[in-house]
Structure 1
Amino acid sequence: MINSLLVGFGAGLGAYIRNFLMQTSNKIKIDFPFMTLLINILGSFALGYLTASVRDKRMLLFLGTGICGGFTTFGTFNMELSQLWFQRRFFSCILYFSLTYIFGILGFVIGIQM
């Protein structure tokens, strides 16, 4: 029961932080889903770092599964990717997809190495 509460509270906190950053970035007009890309890369890095450094299972549930899981956003990524596709912005679509996965994996690996 406590594990579920830790994950739930962490996920809410991560989602709150993500929403705050998304709202802040709405003031800057960029015709590319840069903030979601940045959030997913940062979240991947943080999860890699936490996976390698946090030994307490409950703390990892709270920070990794909860906060990082709520902070990163696969659903928004897919929505924005689909929007680029349907707008026939194929280069941006492929670039966004590639950067997200390449830098997401790289961020996770760098996080573990640190």
Structure 2
Amino acid sequence: MNPGLTALLVVAGAVVGAPARYLTDRLVQSRHATGFPWGTFAVNAVGSFILGLTLGSTASPAVIALVGTGFCGALTTYSTFAYETVQLTAGGGRLFAVLNAVGSVLAGLGAAGLGLALGSLT
């Protein structure tokens, strides 16, 4: 595939993924009164599932660039996950920090594995 077209597909996916990440995070977080970063947890798990589903399927390189790299790359966020985990620790929420770190990794791996398995059925 043409590298220029690939780059445009990644950008197009990111244009949708970034606002989806922000809006989903705000929506989820507004529904929880705890200090736990449920919004980031949710977008990372969902993004991991979508990426697994995409890569497990017979998706074309164009779809992988658009959905896998562009959309999922902008939807998910390791930096915010890391920042929120450090903030939980600094604010005295060590238990929440550990639960966030362990839970996020396990949820992401589980979601990606489930997506890969379901994607391979197509």
Gaps of 5+ in 2: none
Q: Deviations over 1:19-72 (max 9, x none)?
A: 111232343233210111011011101100100114310111000000011000
Q: Given the two structures, how large is their TM-score scaled by the length of structure 1? A: 0.93
Q: 2:15 aligned with 1:12, yes or no?
A: yes
State the match for 2:79 in structure 1. Answer: 75
CA-atom RMSD in angstroms: 1.2
Runs of 4+ that moved beyond 3 A: none
Matched positions, count: 114
Matched, 1:45 2:69: no
On the 8 A contact 1:44/1:105 being kept in 2, the answer is: yes
| Inter-partner Cα distance in structure 2 for 1:55 and 1:26 | 32
Q: Is the CA contact (8 Å cut-off) linking 2:17 and 2:75 kept in structure 1?
A: yes
TM-score, with normalisation over the residues of structure 2?
Answer: 0.88
* SS across alignment from 2:114: helix
> Which blocks of at least 5 consecutive residues in structure 1 are unaligned?
none
Give 1:1-114 correspondences, 5 Å limit: 1-28=4-31, 29-114=33-118
Sequence identity of aligned pairs in percent?
29
Instruction: Name the SS of the counterpart of 1:30 in structure 2.
Output: coil
